[in-house]
Amino acid sequence: MTITHLDGGFTDPARDGARAFRAALQAMARPGRIETLAGIAAPAPASVAAAGLILTLCDTTTPLYLAPSHDSDALRGWITFHTGAPFVAPERAMFALGSWAALAPVDRFSIGTAEYPDRSATLIVEMGALSQTGATLTGPGIKDSAQLSLPELAAFQQNRRRFPLGFDCYFTCGDRLAGLSRSTRVEG
Amino acid sequence: MYVAVKGGERAIDNAHAWLAEDRRGDLGVAELSIAQIREQLALAVGRVMAEGSLYDPDLAALAIKQARGDLIEAVFLIRAYRTTLPRFGASHPVDTAAMACDRRISATFKDLPGGQILGPTFDYTHRLLDFTLAAEGLAPPAPPMAPPAEGDLPHVTGFLAREDLIQSNPDGPDTPRDLTREPLDFPADRPLRLQALARGDEGFVLSMAYSTQRGYGKNHPFVGELRIGSVPVEMDIPELGFAIELGEMVLTECETVNQFTGSKTEPPQFTRGYGLVFGQSERKAISMALVDRALRWEELGEDNEGAPAQDVEFVLYHADNVQATGFLEHIKLPHYVDFQSELELIRRLRAEAMQATRQEAAE
Amino acid sequence: MTEYNFAYLDEQTKRMIRRAILKGVAVPGYQVPFASREMPMPYGWGTGGVQVSAACLTPEDTLKVIDQGADDTTNAVSIRKFFEKTAQIAVTEKTAEATIIQTRHRIPETLLTEDQILVYQVPMPEPLRFLEPSEVETRKMHALQDYGLMHVKLYEDIARHGEIATAYSYPVMVEDRYVMSPSPIPKFDNPKLESAALQLFGAGREQRIYAVPPHTRVVSLDFEDHPFDPSKAPHPCALCGAEDTYLDEVITDDAGTRMFVCSDTDYCGARCEAAA
């Protein structure tokens, strides 16, 4: 079935949005934990989880960058219809969506300022696979250590060194998502 | 045996019932209608609309009735309602030069095109209680009505501008920031400051303005012009492709002309302060203009005298009466946990201090 | 009048608050500015906590609201009723049954779990405010991690009183980066700031949201020779006998007779029930 831009939003925006936000919150508050989202369908190649994050967090006030992997008319139309988020270049983006390769180089994204570290980008990284294996994570939100299949290490280690500045990431795959905040220490 | 107090829920319900009864007062006295408040307490309605940032005389009148005449409480009711309203768009800026003026005076010129229009003012009333008002039902004699002023009444400051004697108003951002949609942060530009002052407590803004007159950030104001009247409000309707008039609103506008002998960055010229509020409130509009001018010290290269009215953080953080009254009154909420921790601290410090004193006395 | 949205706030407002919460979580202890809305309750009465709770609540949540540790204090009752009405969620007085707990001035005695979110009502989020009134200046201090003023104040306390004369709102260092106000909880509660639960802080009037993610390092400021001491009244609870809880001092007669009872009414009640 082809998804037109009118389809695939939340059936009950207030309640579905609340559930989706809880998943996003738990994921960001507990790096390495995998949450699931349901009931959303965006045009390919956007995953259910990525589409859910965009519906939950984006609107006309949040400039969004679509990396080449996700920059299609169908997805643009869907995002515009459901959120009204303006599409912008990576440097101006509050949110960015794409595969890790397509988002590179990630040092283009805003990392906030010393006085306002919150004015930084959140990257939604679409993954071919997502599992609690691979890189070892420590830091806020993690009891001892956690593991997550990150697309690389160096970029996240560099991001941590700038703390409290930095971007924050969601990794999405199908209906599943995990979070990685700039505060997380990442080792191989 | 001690049992902790229960029944908070019932206490609240009972308090609300009592409040409703007190609001109505003696049932033998006729109930106030919204229309009566709107028509006969129009200045209170104007203040609630101005500080509530919502132009709706009927809702403001309802809020005043519900708040038993407590205007800050009424402002609060209006604000809490306003924040739930969807936004359909933004109007064009209103054109106050096209105002149908009920009142228009200038203190800087004896006469001017369009003339001085005194209008419905308390200014020259003798403040003697009018006991005939206590006898209800008497209609006041109709005033002789002058024909309304034809065409636009030019702004007084325009005459000074033609001679380059007054600083021009620099263009602001196309879309000003909105305090009700984004957090206040600094530096706060002039449109943002003006929004905060327009919503600000009339008493606070008045006192700040008064303090500049008494020397705390003195800025030598003249009322270049004060005008009160109604202006049309227009909005573009994208589906129609043109602007339509949504209605009219009553505004009070004050432009002050302030002496300015020049600074490192600016030549000697007159400068401006500006006030604009919903409804008829000259006190608020003039106060706002004075405080606006005081807050402009930095852009005009004036000295910071450390006066309260020059301190933008001080003024903007403390002008809002809904914020102020909420925080002030919250101290009547239970604080016994904090108090208990203080109690233990003070007892301990006191015991130590007393012991030290005793030891000194013994030595 | 039309019906209000689920959990009162409109969706755009919730998204704005949710984005602020996520940034707060990403930068533990940093105060994120947010466009706090006018709520139908006064500033200073929990508008920040209410907005954070409203942005977090799902239909499946069970909410507990406490003020001074008690579920039946008037403001707690009022906020709990607000959410029962606007979000039709389940409510409880039992700490262990709650998924979201909104609190003013206390952390529950019962250890919180991974599955819980604790939402604090915060009157003054800026821990440096009483040392420096200007927001522009305190923001700079946080940016530069310049907390000299705070250390001087604490040191002066020790020089004058022999101890740090702060009994509540006792400042903490979060993840070795930001000095944070834990809200006006008694310092007795400070050790519980290191928790398995997610902790969110909302200051409505001051327009700030901040967060302490689970298992985040939270250290009460002190000096090596004057270590932090989470003191409490030297009594057991007169009702349940607990010796390790925060106590309210209650005056019971005109002669000023007092007794000490748990401030956490749910904790105390459960212990009394178990003993009966």
Model pLDDT for residues C47-78, shown as the tens digit of each residue? 999 999 999 999 999 999 999 999 988 899 99
Are both B211 and B114 inside the same structural domain?
A: yes
Q: Which CATH class is domain A13-187?
A: alpha beta
CA atoms within 13 A on the CB side of B301: 9
Q: Is the pLDDT of residue B4 over 80?
A: no
Per residue in B290-311, pLDDT (tens digit) is 999 999 999 888 889 999 999 9
- The answer on pLDDT for C1 being more than 50 is no
Element (H, E) at B105: strand B100-105
Question: Which residues in chain A touch residue C7, judged by CB atoms under 8 angstroms apart?
Answer: 14, 18
Q: Are residues B193 and B103 in the same domain?
A: yes
- Whether residue B248 lies inside any domain: the answer is yes
**Span C83-109, pLDDT tens digits:** 999 999 999 999 999 999 999 999 999
What's the confidence (pLDDT) of residue C118?
A: 98
User: For residue C174, what are the β-bridge partners?
Assistant: C178, C218
Check: CB of residue A121 under 8 Å from CB of residue A169. Answer: no
Q: Which residue has the higher pLDDT, B74 or B165?
A: B74
Say yes or no: B211 and B111 in one domain.
yes
CA-closest candidate to residue A164, choices C126, C207, C23, C134: C23
Q: Which of B82, B109, B135 is the last residue of a domain?
A: B82
pLDDT of residue B132: 87
The confidence band for B237, taking pLDDT boundaries of 50, 70 and 90, is confident
Query: Could you say which residues from 105 to 134 on chain A have a Cβ atom under 8 Å away from some Cβ of chain C?
Result: 113-118, 120, 122
Residues of chain C found within 8 Å of residue B87, distances taken between Cβ atoms: none
Task: Give me chain B's average pLDDT, please.
Answer: 90
CB contact under 8 A, C213 and A140: yes
Q: How confident is the model at residue B134 (pLDDT cuts 50, 70, 90)?
A: confident
Which residue among the candidates C24, C48, C237, C256 is catalytic per the annotation? C237
Decide if B35 is inside a domain.
Answer: yes
**Rounded to whole angstroms, how far apart are CA atoms C228 and C194?**
15
Contact C4 B84 (CB under 8 A): yes
What integer is the mean pLDDT of B115-130? 90
Tell me the pLDDT band of A176, cut-offs 50, 70 and 90: very high
Report the residue count for chain A.
Answer: 188
**Beta carbons of B343 and C249 less than 8 Å apart:** yes
pLDDT, residue B146, reads 63
CA distance A70 to A87: 12
Angle between helices C74-87 and C47-56 (to 10 degrees): 30
In a domain, B140, yes or no: no
- What is the C-alpha separation between B208 and B196, in angstroms, rounded? 14
Residue B90 lies in a domain: no
Cα angle: C44, vertex C250, B340; to 5 degrees: 50
Alpha carbon distance, N-terminus to C-terminus of chain C = 50
C-alpha to C-alpha distances, B204 to A116, C30, C54, C138, C194, nearest whole angstrom: 31, 32, 33, 25, 43
Query: Does residue B221 share a domain with residue B188?
Result: yes
State the complex-level ipTM: 0.97
Domain count, chain B: 3
| Average pLDDT of span A57-86 | 96
Contact C123 B330 (CB under 8 A): yes
Question: Which one, of B247, B305, B288, lies nearest residue B56 by Cα?
Answer: B247
Q: Is C73 on the interface with B (CB under 8 A)?
A: yes
Region of poorest pLDDT, from A128-142, B130-144, B221-235: B130-144
Predicted local distance difference test score (pLDDT) of residue B356: 84
Are C180 and C203 in contact, with CB atoms under 8 Å apart? no
Determine if the peptide bond prior to B154 is cis (ω within 30°): no
Digit-coded pLDDT (tens) for B13-50: 899 999 999 999 999 999 999 999 999 999 999 999 99
Percent of the residues in chain C that have a pLDDT greater than 90, as a whole number: 88
Q: Which residues of B touch C184 (CB under 8 A)?
A: 335, 337-338
* Helix, strand and coil in chain C, % to nearest 5: 30, 20, 50
In a domain, B135, yes or no: no
C95 versus B265: the higher-pLDDT residue is C95
Question: Is C56 annotated in the active site?
Answer: no
User: Which are the contacts of B146, defined by CB distance < 8 A and separation ≥ 6?
Assistant: B117
Same domain, B62 and B108: no
Q: Is B335 on the interface with C (CB under 8 A)?
A: yes
Where are any strands of DSSP class E within chain C?
32-33, 62-67, 90-91, 100-104, 117-121, 172-174, 178-180, 198-203, 208-212, 218-220, 247-251, 258-262
pLDDT for residue A29 is more than 50: yes
Of B247, B275, B91, B278, which is closest to residue B176 (Cα–Cα)?
Answer: B91
Q: Which two tokens stand for residue C131?
A: 């040392």
Alpha-carbon distance of B314 to B306, in angstroms, equals 11
What's the pLDDT score for residue B150? 57
pLDDT number for residue C154: 93
**B62 and B155, same domain (yes or no):** no
- The pair of structure tokens assigned to B55 is 């132009």
Considering the domain boundaries, does residue B256 fall inside one? yes
Half-sphere exposure of C201 (CA within 13 A, CB side): 32
* Length of chain B as a residue count: 363
**Residues B58, B157 within the same domain:** no
Its domain, for residue B45, covers 9-82
Poorest-pLDDT segment among B229-243, C22-36, C190-204: B229-243
Q: Are residues B167 and B50 in the same domain?
A: no
CB contact under 8 A, C175 and A183: yes
Same structural domain for residues B198 and B251?
yes
Residues B148-205: tens digit of each pLDDT: 565 678 888 888 888 888 888 777 777 889 999 999 999 999 999 999 999 999 999 9
Q: Over pLDDT 90: what percentage of chain B?
A: 59
Last residue of a domain, one of B82, B107, B135: B82
Average pLDDT over residues C205-210: 97
Can you give the pTM of this predicted structure? 0.92
Residue B279 counted as domain residue = yes
Is C29 a catalytic site residue? yes
Whether the predicted pLDDT of C169 surpasses 90: yes
What local confidence, expressed as pLDDT, does residue B85 receive?
A: 86
Q: Which pLDDT does position B147 carry in this prediction?
A: 59
Amino acid at B160: L
Domain locations along chain A: 13-187
| pLDDT, greater one: C42 or C4 | C42
Query: Do residues C173 and C221 make contact, with C-beta atoms less than 8 angstroms apart?
Result: yes
